[in-house]
Amino acid sequence: MSVLVNENTKVLVQGITGRDGSFHAEQMKAYGTNVVAGVTPGKGGQEVHGIPVFDTVAEAREKTGANLAIIYVPAKFAKAAMIEDIEAGMELIICITEGLPVLDMVEVRKKMEGTNIRLIGPNCPGVISPGKCKVGIMPGHIHKPGPIGVVSRSGTLTYEVVYNLTMADIGQTSCVGIGGDPIIGTRFIDVLEMFQNDPETKGIVMVGEIGGEDEQIAAKYIKEHVTKPVVSFIAGRTAPKGKRMGHAGAIISSGDGTAEAKRAILEDAGATVVDFPDEIPALFKEKLGL
Amino acid sequence: MKIHEYQAIEIFKKAGIPVASGKVASEAEEAVAIAEESGYPVVLKSQVLVGGRGKAGGIKVVQDKETLISTFAQLRELKIGGYPVEKVAVVRAIDIKKEFYIGITVDPGKNDVVLIASAEGGVEIEEVAKTNPDAIKKYYLQGERTLDLDRFQGFITSIFDDKTHQDIATDIFQKLVQVFFDNDCSIAEINPLVIDGEGNLLAADAKINFDENALERHAELNDLRDMTYEDADELEAKEKNLSFVKLEGNVGCIVNGAGLAMATMDIVKLAGGNPANFLDVGGSSNPEKVLNALNIILRNKDIKAILINIFGGITRCDDIAKGILQARDQIDLPVPLVVRLTGTNETEAKELLSQNGVETYATMREAVEKVVSLSQA
């Protein structure tokens, strides 16, 4: 088992004719992901790496049966891209684009109300279920199938964690990058619940960072609902207060937002918080007898 | 992006929100002219973009011209939170009967915009939240951009007792909502909103922050930015699509991705070194970015060694490798460079670098330990 994406996922790429969209459509296809369609308004009828391009999401969905949309369009078009997906009834939307205005995300979340549509991101690396399906920008070859679920607010830091797991011969069920913005579609607790309910996931890595309250909310959830071992890394202990550290959401605006405060509350909830990402594999070997 | 009180007052005034009468002055003569027009006593308010100006002695009431001139000069000499006072607002003193807090911001946990009000105005709302959380009332817009007046009624009557003030406050809130959405604010607040001796409601202070990600669609707001508060290197980095924050240490860091960039700094510290900066080269890479990043970092003369830590995803390692080689040709590197590259197009990158005599490290820990030892050599 895996969460969110698997062999049955049919991917539609928004912005497929752009530099990033085109490159990653090819990479996803090479990984074995079923990429069935691309969308760029005005470029319908073309092909990119053998993938048919359509003018609209609705048309692409109707003709190809795509059920997941991944977005690579520039920030100023990303809100419209998500709204088009919601209106076309895509089941899952993954928005890679970074730099969206917060009020655009308020609008998107409002539009999603009352639907069963799940959004991952924005400002995220996507989702991979190793050996089955890769939908995002992560390098596929550092992953391998196995028992650990990974959820993270960061992109490259997730790769670092996964790389260490794989080097230690510990594979992953799924790796979910939820994104570094203040308003996102899916939060830690949503993915923790998926991993807790997935029988093949035996342990969970949660990669957090300074700013916001999501790690604190996740800690409460872990304490009450998660029976699987959780290992965590929190980035930003050397970050100065009041400075935005790259991610729109990574800013310490109160004492609760520091790495130390998050670490303490996660440890209190029973999670193990490490100093170095390369300490994670040994912990799972010990906890799970791998 | 933060703007000064006087700029926020100007925006509120244009939106039709009643504000305390006053103007901003850089010179004593201007201040005198403003005071004589409004009549004494007046309040002199230092314009700085850091909190706690009252406690720092940045706000003074003066009764006459002579005191105004001497006090104005004192304020202009003042440094608040390390920043100079370049402008002072001169505002007619108000006979304050009661103070309120009203504000609008985004509540990320609720994915919504929230209106906040408290009958305990004039103090920091975070303070009220700690000492008397029940005094803070909230109204969520529920994804709308206008007030649902039936629902709003319960909110506004919980703060204002009499009908006239409830109606005026509702009107002020409607205008504040308009300002908030029209300008993509992240915060718009009035603290305090006061009732004066004649029973009028007035904004006696104003604060607006704008969403940096939305400034592209509000070009006019960029003119409001006070460059005194911007670090020249951080601004240049931003122009070049790099995200940079200067720190105190001597290990320069060039990393892709904000999370990994923070983690790299943390681990440099844990390994006994001191990070000199946060620098995220961002997603899509082009070789030019490495050169730009090195140029900015090398302006810091404390730097003893530089770590390039790249985990390729959307960033392609070979682009970074090309950038490193180009940079090496164009600038004379005064300090050693430690390079760690993994991920997308890693093989091509390592081949390119090893052909040109640049050693690479496979893991973050090895690379960090190396750069820390070089920084201490």
**ipTM confidence score:** 0.91
Closest CA to B194 of B224, B152, B160: B160
A114 & A157 share domain: no
Min Cα distance B53 → chain A (Å) is: 17
**What sign for the dihedral angle of Cα B178, B179, B184, B186?**
negative
Flag whether A129 is in a domain: no
Q: For residues A75 and A97, is the Cβ–Cβ distance under 8 A? A: yes
Going by the DSSP 8-state scheme, the letter that residue A107 receives in this structure is: H
Is the pLDDT at A1 greater than 80, yes or no? no
From-to residues of CATH 3.30.470.20 in chain B: 1-19+95-230
How far is Cα B109 from Cα B194, in angstroms, rounded to an integer? 30
| Number of independent structural domains in chain A | 2
Q: Give A61-88 pLDDT, tens digit per residue.
A: 999 999 999 999 999 999 999 999 999 9
Written as six digits, the tokens of A129 are 């279920």
How far is Cα A15 from Cα A53, in angstroms, rounded to an integer? 10
Helix H or strand E encompassing B167? helix B163-182
How far is Cα A76 from Cα A122, in angstroms, rounded to an integer? 13
Domain encompassing residue A253: 138-288
From-to residues of CATH 3.40.50.261 in chain B: 231-376
The whole-number pLDDT of residue B119 equals 94
A34 & A110 share domain: yes
The whole-number pLDDT of residue A52 equals 98
Rg (CA), chain B: 26
Q: Give A212-244 pLDDT, tens digit per residue.
A: 899 999 999 999 999 999 999 999 999 998 888
Flag whether A127 is in a domain: no
Chain A residues within an 8 Å CB radius of B111: 105-106, 109-110, 183
Q: How far apart are the first and last CA of chain A?
A: 18
Q: For residues B202 and B196, is the Cβ–Cβ distance under 8 A? A: yes
Which residue reads 């929230």 in tokens? B114
Written as six digits, the tokens of A73 are 């369009």
Q: Give A238-256 pLDDT, tens digit per residue.
A: 999 888 888 777 887 777 8
DSSP B245-260: EE-SSSEEEEESSHHH
Dmax over CA atoms of chain A, in Å, equals 56
Average pLDDT over every residue of A254-273: 93
Q: Which residues contact A194 (CB under 8 A, 6 or more apart)?
A: A3, A4, A149
Average pLDDT over every residue of A87-101: 96
The 10 Å CB-count burial string (b at 16+, else e) for B268-278 is bbebebbbbbb
Q: Which residues contact B14 (CB under 8 A, 6 or more apart)?
A: none
- Judged by CB atoms closer than 8 Å, whether chains meet at B143 and A210 is answered as no
Among the partner-chain residues B108, B260, B346, the one whose CB lies closest to the CB of A212 is B108
HSE-up (13 A, CA, CB side) for residue A212: 29
Mean pLDDT, chain A, whole residue set = 95
How far is Cα B320 from Cα B217, in angstroms, rounded to an integer? 31
How far is Cα B126 from Cα A12, in angstroms, rounded to an integer? 45
How far is Cα A132 from Cα B116, in angstroms, rounded to an integer? 47
Chain A residue with CA closest to B213: the answer is A101
Min Cα distance B217 → chain A (Å) is: 9
From-to residues of CATH 3.30.1490.20 in chain B: 21-93
Flag whether A130 is in a domain: no
How far is Cα A90 from Cα A12, in angstroms, rounded to an integer? 10
Chain B residues within an 8 Å CB radius of A110: 111, 142-143
B1-19+95-230 homologous superfamily: ATP-grasp fold, B domain (3.30.470.20)
Calculate ∠ Cα A121-A124-A129, nearest 5°: 95
- Which domain CATH number covers A115? 3.40.50.720
A53 & A14 share domain: yes
CATH number for domain B231-376, candidates 3.40.50.300, 3.40.1190.20, 3.40.50.261, 2.130.10.10: 3.40.50.261
The whole-number pLDDT of residue B285 equals 65
A105 & A189 share domain: no
Among the partner-chain residues A159, A180, A182, the one whose CB lies closest to the CB of B343 is A159
What is the 3-class SS of B275-292, one letter each residue? ECEEEECCCCCCCHHHHH
Among the partner-chain residues B186, B266, B342, the one whose CB lies closest to the CB of A102 is B186
Beta bridge partners of B208: B188
Q: Give A125-183 pLDDT, tens digit per residue.
A: 999 999 999 999 999 999 999 999 999 999 999 999 999 999 999 999 999 999 999 99
- Judged by CB atoms closer than 8 Å, whether chains meet at B259 and A154 is answered as yes
Min Cα distance A186 → chain B (Å) is: 11
The whole-number pLDDT of residue B121 equals 87
Flag whether A107 is in a domain: yes
| Single residue among A56, A88, A120 that ends a domain in this structure | A120
Q: Give A33-68 pLDDT, tens digit per residue.
A: 999 999 999 999 999 999 999 999 999 999 999 999
Q: How far apart are the first and last CA of chain B?
A: 40
How far is Cα B263 from Cα A173, in angstroms, rounded to an integer? 24
| Single residue among A58, A91, A120 that ends a domain in this structure | A120
The 10 Å CB-count burial string (b at 16+, else e) for B330-349 is eeeeebebbbbbbbbbbeeb
Whether A247 is catalytic is yes
- Judged by CB atoms closer than 8 Å, whether chains meet at B211 and A237 is answered as no
Q: Give B244-255 pLDDT, tens digit per residue.
A: 999 999 999 999
Quick one: A167 exposed, middle or buried, by C-beta within 10 A (0-12, 13-18, 19+)? middle
- Judged by CB atoms closer than 8 Å, whether chains meet at A159 and B284 is answered as no
Min Cα distance A50 → chain B (Å) is: 21
Among the partner-chain residues B186, B262, B342, the one whose CB lies closest to the CB of A236 is B262
- Judged by CB atoms closer than 8 Å, whether chains meet at A238 and B275 is answered as yes
Own/partner contacts of A160-166, CB < 8 Å, gap of 24 or more, are A160/A277, A160/B260, A160/B263, A160/B311, A160/B364, A161/A205, A161/A207, A161/A233, A161/A277, A161/A280, A162/A138, A163/B311, A163/B342, A164/A277, A164/A278, A164/A280, A164/A281, A165/A205, A165/A280, A165/A281, A165/A284, A166/A142
Closest CA to B106 of A168, A184, A196, A289: A184
A162 & A237 share domain: yes
Flag whether A67 is in a domain: yes
Chain B residues within an 8 Å CB radius of A139: 312-313, 343-344, 346
A146 & A89 share domain: no
- Judged by CB atoms closer than 8 Å, whether chains meet at B267 and A152 is answered as no
How far is Cα B55 from Cα B34, in angstroms, rounded to an integer? 25
Dihedral in degrees, nearest 10, Cα atoms B215, B225, B109, B166: -100
Higher pLDDT, B232 or A206: A206
How far is Cα B54 from Cα B59, in angstroms, rounded to an integer? 5
How far is Cα A276 from Cα B266, in angstroms, rounded to an integer? 9
What is residue A62's three-state secondary structure? helix
Instruction: Count the helix, strand and coil residues of chain A and give each as a percent rounded to the nearest 5.
Output: 35, 20, 40
Q: Which residues of chain B have pLDDT under 70?
A: 283-285
The whole-number pLDDT of residue B284 equals 62
| Backbone φ and ψ of B264, nearest 5° | -60, -45
Chain B residues within an 8 Å CB radius of A210: 262
Calculate ∠ Cα B32-B36-B42, nearest 5°: 75
A170 & A209 share domain: yes
Min Cα distance B341 → chain A (Å) is: 11
A273 & A169 share domain: yes
Going by the DSSP 8-state scheme, the letter that residue A141 receives in this structure is: G
B21-93 homologous superfamily: ATP-grasp fold, A domain (3.30.1490.20)
- Judged by CB atoms closer than 8 Å, whether chains meet at A237 and B344 is answered as no
Chain A residues within an 8 Å CB radius of B363: 278
- Which domain CATH number covers A146? 3.40.50.261
How far is Cα B311 from Cα B102, in angstroms, rounded to an integer? 45
Among the partner-chain residues B181, B283, B343, the one whose CB lies closest to the CB of A98 is B283
Written as six digits, the tokens of B148 are 């649902």
The whole-number pLDDT of residue A290 equals 84
